[in-house]
Each structure stands twice: as structure tokens, then as C-alpha cells.
Chain A
Amino acid sequence: MGNTDTTLKSFEDIILAMDSAIKEFWKTYEGMMVSVGRVFGNEAIKRCLSEDIDGLLKELEDITPMKFKRENNKIIVEKCVVRELIEKGVIDKNNTLCPFLKGFISKVFESIGMKAVCENCEVIVK
């Protein structure tokens, strides 16, 4: 497959193409992608055993390319592959992947009886 940079670029091209395909397929992709994320969250919580926030965050780190840091009721997304792709200019801010991850996270937190609101790479849990 060549060197790492070329490989990385090819995967970023595929992600960009997927983002663009979803936008073309669903004109109202934002709401749609939140639902797609929630469906995946529903599948993921079947395999999650944790009943508290810290345990759940650890399990989330295992099943998604993200890293979290908890500050009481606020969870800061320390590492997120989607944010990296935005910062690198691969995809734009108005992408389909952020609503997907928002839907996913909110559904996962519902499994431990909490409500999660995701905004600006932060999750507020109630």
C-alpha cells in the first residue's frame, strides 16, 4: 500500500467521498445522521457493561476513535478523528460525521439513564 502518508491520504479521500455521498443522498443529512448515530449507539450499548460515566467513557474509547476527559458533568472530547479531519481541511465544519457522533454519544448515555448534550466538542451530561 505504499508509505503511511499515502495510505493516510487514501483513507481521508474515502472519508471525504463518504461525507459527500451522504450529503448527496440525504438532503436533510443532519437530522438523518443523528438517527444513524443513535442506531449505532443502540447496537453498541448491547456490548457495554458499565453503569457509570467513567466506565462508559472507557468503553467508548475502545469502540470509537475518540478520547475523553471528565470534569464533573462536563466531558471534554480530547481526541476526535473527525475534528482532526476538519482541522486538516479534509472535510468541512458542515460535515455529516459530527451529527453522527452526537447521536451516537447521546444514545449511549441514555443507556445509563443520563441525558447528554453535545456542543463544540464538549458533552454536558445531566
Chain B
Amino acid sequence: MDVSSPIPSHLDRTADAGNVVVNIGPSHPATHGTIQIVAELDGETVKRADVHCGYLHRGFEKEAEHHTYHKVIPYVDRLNYCSALNNGFAYAEAVEKLLGIEITRRCIVLRTLLCEYNRIADHMTCVAASIMEMGAMTAFLYLMTVRDYIFEHLNHLTGARLTYSYVRIGGLARDLPEGWLTRLEEILVFAEEYLERIHGLLDRNRIFIDRTRDVAVMTPEHALNWGFTGPTLRSTGLAIDLRKDAPYLAYPELDFEVPVGIKGDNYDRYYVRMCEIDESIAMVRQCVRLLSDGPVSVDDPRVTLPAKELVYTQIEALVHHFKLVSEGIVVPPGEIYVSHEAPNGELGFYLVSDGTSRPYKLHVRAPSFVHMGGMHTLLEGYQVADVVPTFGSMNMVGGECDR
């Protein structure tokens, strides 16, 4: 059966007869499975590149319009699945602001802690995948081991290793179990030890430097023009970070720095991410010290489910529970744009509510999607073998790019 490509490329006819058009992906190990790059090559140099995404389009926005606010939470988790908690907290903040709810102090600190904890896991995944694609299996396996301990730890807290569905509108699903914080400290110590090894393996590695230094260089103006945010933008030298510029959750109280790069090349992006992991580990420890006692979910009958003992014994609590689960949370009409500093960049949720229990419109401003729009500028002029490290340093997460 002859199946042609779902999208015609602009490069179907090459400008120069001596050039070759090569198709990379979408089923390709280095493109994280869902990006197709059609590249016109002159020998080894990429003359033009056409990046196609959308192979993982799962209809997130349409699903969100057909589900209640709580039922959207698992869909939100699967946007940037490497750091699912970050997505959930940004979405929950959008809904909570429309409702006019203030979350509790313990919830604020716990959400910040989990944001940073998931940021560690996400940056580790990005670095591990991109260096594995360059051939460094040892570093990949080290980082996978640490990441697996983080997953098991979060499994102890939320019930799932990867897509947690832990956030609730107005709070969190449950409080910390016994011994969670002790294990957290053990994992952080373990992570620091392994990160030292990664630094030792990669930072001054001749091969790594040759492959990533001065490859895919970006100036700050170029980065802003093409919409880059997050570590990719910070690697060019601009210290734009939502955690400092427009602090949310508990970030105003945390003491941290924003690492920036010098040249905006692949090496800088790798190093900015490694420094951000160190900053995140410090922030997690500060959050543990800031953690105070108290309820985790706000005591607002519009959003919080009643306690299970009451549901089983009192009729009012039963009916309340029933209405909250079947009809859903009713959010007053309005619109809001909330953006958080996700590990990939600025993750924004534009929520339009019409007063019913389903979002009228829930749009995700996905950093990976915008980065894919600008990525062809980073591929052109470099060699075809540079496609792999460049793509890896962008941390394109398919669920977020194609939604």
C-alpha cells in the first residue's frame, strides 16, 4: 500500500540539483519519536530544513471542552509528561484564580517543592536522552537510575510513576505519607553524587565539546524573535525566568539564582540545565524547611470533596460529593492567562469559562511547539550530524508540542 507523507514538504524540489533531500523521522530515535525533519543536504551541510510536528496530536483542547475541570487533570498531566506536576499546578492555578480561591500555606510550599523536584527529573531526562543519542550510554544509565528513584518516590506519594494526576482544584489529592521527607533527602544526596559523575564525564570531554560547542548558536535577539523561552533562552545570556520576574507559589521566599549561558549553543543549553538541577536541589531543601503544618486542600465547599467519613454517614456530604463529582466544579465566567516556568520554558494556560462546569476554551501555550517553529534556523548551516545534539538540547516533548 503506497502511503505518501501526511504533509507535503516545501523541499520536494531542491533548489540546487546537486543537493539531496533527506527525511529524518518521524519514527526516529533521536527525534523523540514524533518530529519529522525534511532536510536538504549539500554534502554533509544542511542547507534548508523543514520541521513537521503534529504526529502526536491527541486533541487536548477538544477533550478539555468536553470534560469537567477535574477530569481534565489527567489530560493536563500528559502534556509535558516528563514533569507532569508542573503542568497540573499551572492549570489548577488558572482555575483557582477564576474561582477566587486562595490555596493554603502548606499547599503552596508543597507545590513549589514538587515543581522543583519534577524539574530535576525533567532536566535529567533531557540531558540523558540527548547524550545517549550522542553515544554516551554510561551517563544515560546513571541519570536513569536517579530518575527512577525519583519516580518510585513520587509513586509513594501520588500512586503513579509518571503521570501523577495529583493536583486538585484548591489543593492536592492527599498529604505527604510517613517517611517521605527522609527518603527525599536520601534521593537528593544520591542525585548530587551522580551529578558529580556526570559533570566528570561530560564537562571537559573532548568529544562532547567538539560536538556541542559552537553548534546551533543563538543570539538573544534571535531567540526572542523566534519565541524561545526557558533554559534555551537563558543559554543566550538573557536572565528571563518567570520564577524571578513574576513569582508565583512560594518562589518569592526562596533564595536561588538563575543560571545563564554565554553563547547560546548546545553546550550552554546542557550546562544551563545542569546548573538548574543544582539550583532545584537547593530549592527543594529550602522548601522542606519552609514546610509547616496545616491542611493541604482549601476548605471551600465549591471545590473540595468532603471527608470520606462524612460521605458515608451524612446525607448532605453524600449529595455534596455526588454533585462535585458528577456535575463538576462550577467556575464563574471569565478568562485568564496563567503562565508558569516549566522546565521547557513558559507554559501558559489560557482558560475561558462560560459559567458551566466545563471549560469553554482551554488553550495551552506550549514551549516545545514554539521552539519547533524556530528550530529550523538552528539546523541550517550546520552538519546533518549536528541535528541530533541540537534537537536533544531543545528538549522537545511530544505531548506538549502537539497537545
Q: Check if A and B associate.
A: no
Chain A residues packing against B (C-beta within 8 Å): none
